[in-house]
Structure 1
């Protein structure tokens, strides 16, 4: 009795572990608030906006098209390869079987990087075609693995008998051999489709601008905060799969032995055959035809004027892009990155010719020093007059002559604290080492931001390369680590809104949003100084549409457009004319969004310190994280 009771408890716990995350996702899809840390009431608006979100729907459709095409082509090639290998002598059969198994045993990242380097070596433009080729290559071994065992179970004598009776080789194959191996072929197709549908690594390394699958789209949103529409889509996918599983696994009733029940079973069997032979192929054809029309329309866009933009995630109002396209007739291909370090290799490799990129200060310096940037023709950007002179002056720290960049957003790094959980005003970095806030402190999971805190606290430069100073900062971070609840990036926003921590290191733009959601939060720039960062637009040297890029920069510098972006992303704008258009005085004169830089001491921008110094920083950071 006790044993059965324990078994039920164990089974219940297993189901909780399996389905609690899915249940959480489903609940969030009905949450009226954009943040997961706050329940804003029940709503269905995310399901409505899901089908209006062009980016997500394009990613979904691209995923289905690539998965189906890759599965079909890989199944044909893989089946043919399996037949060829089966017809070889034992020695060669063993050799080729082993070779086809290697890609399956290799890590996916090895194949992803290898295929990317192969495409780059042959100057193949990364895009939809390269993803499809990569998926087909990846899937073929799995099809061979599924078909080969069925071929070994077939009798060659039956095939030869059909030939002796006058059948052609092709006719004999499809009438005799193929029915025997059909389960293996279908299994290979389903395996290939599933692998392709779920793949991220290979897609990530072989995709080009403007092409996203669901996996890469979700990945690009993880660090910046997943959109609620994605929760809605995931819920729909889960429910769809659940319904299909229920339909497939429904058992006949116990009275199936009766004539009526047997008749019902026959009907279901006939319906299943019709589904397999007619409905599924028609559905696949519809997807293919729809995909052909969709990508044909995309191909027509290639003949238009276009612009390829590479920007941070959630760093531009989508309506801004729409307005630019309507006003100019230029088609914008928009792609997002998560960090400067992810963006840089794509630019430096030259694999993709981006026209416009938005790096941070120190990365602009690195790109400029490595001769990756083109000089901007400011005759095409008359709206540069709207950018405040203070910001252009600050930009000279990484772009000495202001020839390569135009400021887009700026801000500071400071401390966000919850006034209901902190019983004293905060004005110093020292609070991050206060024992009474143990397990209530959030730190940035970024090497330069993390080291910037102790360096400024100790009175050193953010850009210090002195090994003694860096080791001193490392020791402080190590001493602080037991007090830290978590090292996070954008998650600090949701945690602070949800009262999950008392203190967090945060960017000023995020602080503005958190205060709107939770009025108990306060932001301060510590008296020891901090980081003043500037993200600016630059044009890579290999840009193919430089004038279009300059036209877009000029458009973004227009006051009304700069205001739209500020209201969407809440990060401070260097556009002084746009600031004057802000209606809310509390925002227009906010000390968080627009602090008087002359009154804030010891603000520095990050500088590129060189490869060797980057390695030192990373080594010391790894020591901190591994303690």
Structure 2
């Protein structure tokens, strides 16, 4: 009795561990409040917003088309390959099966990077086509693996007998061999479809601007902070899979007579016949047809007016993009990144031709040094006159002749703290090492920002290249790690608003937004000093629509547009005319948004420190993260 009870308890615990997170996610999808910290009442609005979210729905459709097409093509090629391999002599069959198994045994990241380098080498533009080719490539081995066992069970002599009786090789195959291997072919198709539907790593390395699958889209959204729409999407996906599994595995009770009759004659039901012969083929053809039409339309943009923009997450008002498209007739292909370190490899590899990007100061300096940026034709940017002279002068620290960049946003890095959770004045970075706030501290998941904070706390320059100083900073970060709740980027904002942490390192622009949402939050630049940064628009040297990129930058420098953008992202604007138009005097004169820099003598701008220093920082940061 006790043993059975323990078994049931053990089983219950397993189910709780497996499904409690999913149930929590489903409950949150109906929560009126955006924050996970409180229940705001039942609502269906996140589902409504999900279906109104064009980006997510586009990603869903892209995923469906790629998965079906990749699975179909991989099944065709894989089945043919399996037949060819089966017809070989034992030695060669063993060799080719071994070669076929290598992609399945390899890490996905190896396959992803390899395919990306191949596409770059042959000059293919990253996009829908490269994702499709990549998915077909990694799916073929799975199809071969599914079909081979069925081929081994077939009798070769039956095929030969069919030809002896007058059938052509093709006719003999489809009438004699194919019916026997259909289960393997269908299994291969379903396996390929599932693998393609679920893939993230290979897709991430082979996709281009303006195209996302569900996996890459969800990843991008989660990096910026989990939105309720993602809860709704995940709930729908889970329920759909659950219903399909129930339908597939459902079997009504049958009496002995029915079972005996089914044993004698195994005929597919009428519903299955309709599904297999009509519904599924028609559905696949419809997806192919509309998918082909849709992506043909999308690809036609290559020869039309467009601009490809690569910007930080949630760093531009979507309405501004719409206004630009309506006023200029130029289509905007818009992508987002999370850190400068993610941005740089994409630009340096030349795999994707972006027209406008928005790096930070030190990264611009690095790109200029490595000849990755094009000089801007300021004749196409007359609105540059609206950018304050002090910001253009500050830009000379990383763009000495002001030839490559146009300031977009600026600010400081400081501490955001919750006054109800922190009962002492916050004036120093030292509070980030206070054990009293264990599991309530949020740090930036960025090597330069995190080391910069630590170096300033130690009294060093945040541009230090001294190994002893950097080692001390690393040791201090390792010591701090048990106190840190999480290393995050944009999620600092949501967690602090939701009272999920007491202290967080944050950019001043985010601090302004969080204070609007949660009046208990306060922002301070510590006495040891900090980073003053400028993010600027630049144009990569391989841009294909440089003039359109300059039009885009000019549009953003227009005072009314800069004001609209500031009100959306709350990051300080260098556009002096836009600042004059801010109606709220408390914001216009905010010490957070527009601090008096003359009162700070220990603020520094990040500088590019060279390849060797970058490697040192990277190695030390990895040691911190892996400790």
Q: TM-score, normalised by structure 2?
A: 0.95
Asked if structure 2 preserves the Cα contact closer than 8 Å seen for 1:442 and 1:503, the reply is yes
* Residue 465 of structure 1, CA deviation: 1.3
Asked if structure 1 preserves the Cα contact closer than 8 Å seen for 2:360 and 2:536, the reply is yes
Residues 13 and 190 of structure 1, relative CA distance in 2, 3 Å threshold: same
* Residue 61 of structure 1, CA deviation: 0.8
Comparing 356-365 and 416-425, the one that deviates more: 416-425
Asked if structure 2 preserves the Cα contact closer than 8 Å seen for 1:38 and 1:497, the reply is no
Q: Distance in 2 between matches of 1:39 and 1:367?
A: 47
Q: Distance in 1 between matches of 2:203 and 2:229?
A: 22
Deviations 1:245-287 (A, max 9, x none): 111122213557579x99xx99992212211221111111111
Q: Distance in 1 between matches of 2:186 and 2:421?
A: 60
| Counterpart residue number, 1:148 | 148
Deviations 1:461-484 (A, max 9, x none): 110112232233233333333433
Asked if structure 2 preserves the Cα contact closer than 8 Å seen for 1:128 and 1:208, the reply is yes
| Counterpart residue number, 2:322 | 322
Deviations 1:494-541 (A, max 9, x none): 332232322221111222222222211111111111111111100011
Q: Distance in 2 between matches of 1:90 and 1:229?
A: 54
**Secondary structure in 1 aligned to 2:439?**
coil
| Counterpart residue number, 1:368 | 368
**Secondary structure in 1 aligned to 2:286?**
helix
| Counterpart residue number, 2:331 | 331
Deviations 1:289-313 (A, max 9, x none): 2212211221332331111111112
**Secondary structure in 2 aligned to 1:371?**
coil
Asked if structure 2 preserves the Cα contact closer than 8 Å seen for 1:37 and 1:497, the reply is no
| Counterpart residue number, 2:85 | 85
Asked if structure 1 preserves the Cα contact closer than 8 Å seen for 2:339 and 2:446, the reply is no
Deviations 1:533-587 (A, max 9, x none): 1111000111111111100000011122112222222222222222233333332
| Counterpart residue number, 1:122 | 122
Alignment of 1:34-45 (within 5 A): 34-45=34-45
**Secondary structure in 1 aligned to 2:410?**
strand
| Counterpart residue number, 2:294 | 294
**Secondary structure in 2 aligned to 1:403?**
coil
Deviations 1:438-476 (A, max 9, x none): 333222232211221222123221101122322332333
* Residue 416 of structure 1, CA deviation: 1.0
Asked if structure 1 preserves the Cα contact closer than 8 Å seen for 2:159 and 2:173, the reply is yes
Residues 213 and 482 of structure 1, relative CA distance in 2, 3 Å threshold: closer
* Residue 488 of structure 1, CA deviation: 2.7
| Counterpart residue number, 1:500 | 500
**Secondary structure in 2 aligned to 1:311?**
strand
| Counterpart residue number, 1:509 | 509
* Residue 437 of structure 1, CA deviation: 2.6
Residues 626 and 105 of structure 1, relative CA distance in 2, 3 Å threshold: closer
Alignment of 1:15-414 (within 5 A): 15-253=15-253, 255=255, 257=257, 269-414=269-414
Deviations 1:590-609 (A, max 9, x none): 22222222223311111110
Asked if structure 2 preserves the Cα contact closer than 8 Å seen for 1:37 and 1:495, the reply is no
Deviations 1:76-96 (A, max 9, x none): 011001111111111111111
Asked if structure 1 preserves the Cα contact closer than 8 Å seen for 2:338 and 2:489, the reply is no
Q: TM-score, normalised by structure 1?
A: 0.95
Q: Distance in 2 between matches of 1:35 and 1:399?
A: 41
Residues 596 and 112 of structure 1, relative CA distance in 2, 3 Å threshold: same
**Secondary structure in 2 aligned to 1:592?**
coil
- Count of residue pairs brought into register by the alignment: 624
Asked if structure 2 preserves the Cα contact closer than 8 Å seen for 1:311 and 1:358, the reply is yes
**Secondary structure in 1 aligned to 2:463?**
coil
| Counterpart residue number, 2:560 | 560
Q: Distance in 1 between matches of 2:256 and 2:590?
A: 74
| Counterpart residue number, 1:538 | 538
Asked if structure 2 preserves the Cα contact closer than 8 Å seen for 1:413 and 1:532, the reply is yes
Asked if structure 2 preserves the Cα contact closer than 8 Å seen for 1:353 and 1:544, the reply is yes
Q: Distance in 1 between matches of 2:606 and 2:175?
A: 70
Q: Distance in 2 between matches of 1:124 and 1:160?
A: 45
Asked if structure 2 preserves the Cα contact closer than 8 Å seen for 1:146 and 1:187, the reply is yes
Q: Distance in 1 between matches of 2:486 and 2:352?
A: 36
* Residue 412 of structure 1, CA deviation: 1.1
Q: Distance in 1 between matches of 2:303 and 2:466?
A: 53
**Secondary structure in 1 aligned to 2:539?**
coil
Q: Distance in 2 between matches of 1:478 and 1:153?
A: 59
| Counterpart residue number, 1:471 | 471
Asked if structure 2 preserves the Cα contact closer than 8 Å seen for 1:159 and 1:177, the reply is yes
| Counterpart residue number, 2:460 | 460
Deviations 1:200-239 (A, max 9, x none): 1111111111111111111222221133322222221221
Q: Distance in 1 between matches of 2:26 and 2:619?
A: 41
Q: Distance in 2 between matches of 1:626 and 1:198?
A: 27
Q: Distance in 2 between matches of 1:205 and 1:522?
A: 40
Q: Distance in 2 between matches of 1:276 and 1:434?
A: 65
| Counterpart residue number, 2:594 | 594
Q: Distance in 2 between matches of 1:594 and 1:268?
A: 73
Asked if structure 2 preserves the Cα contact closer than 8 Å seen for 1:396 and 1:402, the reply is yes
* Residue 433 of structure 1, CA deviation: 2.6
Q: Distance in 2 between matches of 1:624 and 1:335?
A: 30
Residues 233 and 626 of structure 1, relative CA distance in 2, 3 Å threshold: closer
Comparing 205-214 and 485-494, the one that deviates more: 485-494
* Residue 60 of structure 1, CA deviation: 0.8
Q: Distance in 1 between matches of 2:121 and 2:234?
A: 37
Residues 106 and 435 of structure 1, relative CA distance in 2, 3 Å threshold: closer
Residues 100 and 474 of structure 1, relative CA distance in 2, 3 Å threshold: closer
| Counterpart residue number, 2:623 | 623
**Secondary structure in 2 aligned to 1:499?**
coil
Comparing 207-216 and 588-597, the one that deviates more: 588-597
Asked if structure 2 preserves the Cα contact closer than 8 Å seen for 1:37 and 1:494, the reply is no
Q: RMSD over aligned Cα, in angstroms?
A: 2.0
Asked if structure 1 preserves the Cα contact closer than 8 Å seen for 2:404 and 2:539, the reply is yes
Q: Distance in 2 between matches of 1:479 and 1:92?
A: 57
**Secondary structure in 1 aligned to 2:373?**
coil
> Where do 5+ consecutive residues of structure 2 fail to align?
none
Residues 102 and 433 of structure 1, relative CA distance in 2, 3 Å threshold: closer
Comparing 464-473 and 170-179, the one that deviates more: 464-473
